[in-house]
Amino acid sequence: MTSTGTAETVETLQDVLVERVGQVSLITINRPDARNAVNQAVCIGVGEALEAAEQDPDIRAIVITGAGDKAFCAGADLKAITRGEAILPPGREHWGLAGFVNHPVSKPTIAAVNGAALGGGTEIVLAADLVVAADTASFGLPEAKRGLVAGAGGAFRLPRRIPPLVAMELLLTGDPIDAKTALELHLVNKVVPAADVVAVALALAQTIAANAPLSVRAHKRIALGLDENSLSTADATGWAMTSEEIARTSGSEDAKEGPRAFAEKRAPQWTGR
């Protein structure tokens, strides 16, 4: 395999595709009929692909995208949750949603956002080092509209990525933004035609892959405040606070009312309890 852009599929799972494109690992969440919602198989597939890329000296960068042209990722699979299925695989819960959001790797990660990225989809975006978005993409953390808490890193990462006042507005209103606004806020690096999003992300990854790998990883660690194991002290604090708030709110009446009202297509009746 050369770095000319020719792709070779190295692993195919039902819900995750992994390809080697030169010195880049391309990971695709492959559930377009479910808007690429995350189930346990996605967590395992993406997480294992990250582990493989991290251990492969010939892989210099990682791109993650979603299948189809409608959605990058719709967050956790609510139907699977309703069936009582665990989203995070036993023993690998520390990887976080999609096996990605709390799964540190030393190599640069690029999100190629091919459509809607709401809730957990935006949290995957926030966990990536760089972002290329389709002009059809949208972003947002709507949890406040559902009586929930953004549990995959969004509540503490969004204020780091965009102006804090704007982040606070998006967190408290739950309103989405389009790709143009995301670019203006520096939430994403580039906005391109939807048909080109993966190709542009791969080109960016190949540019990075052509550089000295030790220098690239060193710059990532310095920029993100990571230790030699790619762990962030700031993230550790954010995760701890997120867990505390989820524990405080998850058993509330409002946390039950929000999803119920959404399913019944009516306005929620909040009680603050």
| The pLDDT of residue 110 is above 90 | yes
Q: 171-186 burial string, b = 16+ CB within 10 Å, else e?
A: beebebbebebbbebe
Task: Assess whether 143 carries a catalytic annotation.
Answer: yes
- What's the pLDDT band for 13 if we cut at 50, 70, 90? low
Summarize pLDDT for 130-175 with one digit per residue, the tens. 999 999 999 999 999 999 999 999 999 999 999 999 999 999 999 9
Check residue 147 and give left, alpha or beta (phi > 0: left; psi -120 to 50: alpha).
Answer: left
Q: Are 150 and 138 in contact (CB under 8 A)?
A: no
Q: Which of 8, 143, 228, 264 is catalytic?
A: 143
177-206 average pLDDT score:
98
* E-state strands within 13-108: 16-21, 24-29, 61-66, 71-73
* Percentage of residues of the chain with pLDDT beyond 90: 81
What pLDDT does 29 receive?
98
Domains, the chain = 7-233 (3.90.226.10)
Summarize pLDDT for 207-234 with one digit per residue, the tens. 999 999 999 999 999 999 888 776 787 8
Summarize pLDDT for 25-66 with one digit per residue, the tens. 999 999 999 999 999 999 999 999 999 999 999 999 999 999
235-264 average pLDDT score:
91
Which of 127, 77, 81 lies closest to 100, judged by CA?
Answer: 127
The continuous run of DSSP H or E covering 241 comes out as: helix 233-249
Summarize pLDDT for 65-91 with one digit per residue, the tens. 999 999 999 999 888 887 888 899 999
What pLDDT does 208 receive?
99
What pLDDT does 183 receive?
99
Q: Which of 48, 85, 123, 228 is catalytic?
A: 123
| The pLDDT of residue 119 is above 50 | yes
Task: Assess whether 253 carries a catalytic annotation.
Answer: no
Q: Which of 14-23, 106-115, 227-236, 253-262 has the lowest mean pLDDT?
A: 227-236
